[in-house]
Amino acid sequence: MSKSLPAQPSLRQLKIQAKDLLQAFEDSQPEAISRFTQATGRSGCPEPKLNDAHLVLAREYGFPNWTALKKEVERLEKQVEESLGNQFRDAVRSGNVSVVEALLKNHSALQCRVNDPLFDFGGSGILNAVNRKDRPMIDALLKAGANLNQKSKWEAGGFGVLDRVEDELGNYLISRGAEVDIHAAAHLGKTDRICALLDENPALVNAPGGDGGTPLHFARNVEVAELLLERGADVTMRDKDHNSTAAMWRINNKAVLYRLIEAGSPIDIFMACVHGDRALAERALREDPDCLSAFLAHAKGEGKFASDTGGNIYNWEVGHAVRPIPVAARLGHRALADFLLVKASPTERLIAYCLTGNRQAVEQLLSTESNLIAHLTKDEARALPDAVHFRDRESARLMLDAGFPITAKGVDGGDCLGLAAWHGDEEFVRQAIEKGASLENKDNNYSSTPLDWACHGSLHCWDRGKGNYPEVVKALIRGGANAQKQSELKKTGTTGWASPTTIEAFP
């Protein structure tokens, strides 16, 4: 009877065992000779090689040859490695220091991976702990050998622990050995350090850092910006990930933003809307008369502000899928919003009213412009699925009631029903069904029906904890959605295609 592999087999240990077995045979040890005979079926093996010892081990474990054994052990090792990596990642993210310490103590292989890019955007555990301001976890990881100066393995440009940290924690990290490079110095406002680094290497003034941004992209204040400009910083340079200028990165820092504009940085309508600046808005309108149609997106080719890679930086600094006039209104710049409404086209006004929840204005506009919905462009119509995807339920309902096309495509080509299903938004799913949304629409990036979106979202949506996926599934099936595929998966006991509670909702 063949032996069973251990729960956590090691190819390295098996190779050592094979060498030991060969040596034992060469030393004429009876047990080793017997094992060779039983495994090979030959009564003698005058000059065995290491390959013969490999074969003996493979046969003893029930495999026809060493290649098959090696393949299975490598599969199991990878499985164990992934499991340990997941346990380590979950423990770090949840701030469970005791679990992290136990994992690192009991698994030497994991100790060697303490700096691996197991976290978001190629970050290590220490970067995750720093981003969460978790000092106990930071200390535990440093004790385990974490490299405080390893940047994230992000293809657009890695971030260091000091690049986005607050002063108190930054000073602590520096005391523990974190190195202050040019980007960290710009972020922390350390002008003396900036001067020292540029004196040594002037080219650093425009060197790419995190996301491919220059030191100017990280400028903490006007003093830092002035210093970098004096040393030759280029205000027109854009980062690699978001295709955004330093001024765009600093849009919420008015003093730095306006200094960069003064230095010749390109401007846009969002800068004016964020700060309620009519003069800047007028300039933006002169430079781009169609700028009020702008919206923020992620995918290449979606609107004016989508880069080829990680979406415009405004998605994180201003808001996902936002549009100029609603931004001004949301930030309390009513006078600018009213001025821009006068400049806007009727469809731009309609969207602005919807996104600011002004139902009365929507109804009044539609009463005088009865054919307005028919004139919505593709980019204008996507305001509905964008509102659904980014959880602006009030605006989405208002657009639905106003007659926005329910077939309009948003993120990943999803329509409003598919995206609502992905978020587990039971209420909007029912509303969209009532408005006639297609229950079998597959015209999206994944050729997925709304039921498919719901199943995937129950496992992968970022805010799935807020969703009611079982009720979404029930609503879709009541509406007439074809659930045969999912029901067959449920009957066969297949898992992993939806959350357990979502699976239970299928007949």
- Residue range 180-231, pLDDT digits in tens: 999 999 999 999 999 999 999 999 999 999 999 999 999 999 999 999 999 9
Share of the chain above pLDDT 70, in %: 97
Q: Extract long-range pairs of 124-127: CB within 8 Å, 24+ residues apart.
A: 124/150, 124/152, 125/88, 125/89, 125/92, 125/100, 126/150, 126/161, 127/152, 127/159, 127/161
> Is residue 238 within 8 Å of residue 313, measured between CB atoms?
no
Task: Show me where the domains of the chain are located.
Answer: 410-507
DSSP code of 209?
Answer: -
- DSSP lists the bridge partners of residue 119 as 123
DSSP code of 374?
Answer: G
| Structure tokens, 97 | 């220091």
- Taking only Cα atoms into account, the Rg of the chain, rounded to an integer number of angstroms, comes to 30
Q: Which of 449, 448, 467 is nearest to 459 (CA)?
A: 467
Q: What is the pTM of this model?
A: 0.86
> Is residue 232 within 8 Å of residue 206, measured between CB atoms?
yes
> Is residue 53 within 8 Å of residue 21, measured between CB atoms?
yes
Strands, E assignment, 69-151: none
| Structure tokens, 15 | 């190779």
Torsional class of 298: left (φ above 0), alpha (ψ -120 to 50), beta (otherwise): alpha
424-469 pLDDT, tens digit per residue, is 999 999 999 999 999 999 999 999 999 999 999 999 999 999 999 9
224-254 pLDDT, tens digit per residue, is 999 999 999 999 999 999 999 999 999 999 9
Torsional class of 44: left (φ above 0), alpha (ψ -120 to 50), beta (otherwise): beta
* Cα first-last separation, the chain: 45
Torsional class of 49: left (φ above 0), alpha (ψ -120 to 50), beta (otherwise): beta
CATH code assigned to 410-507: 1.25.40.20
Q: 119 φ, ψ to 5°?
A: -115, 180
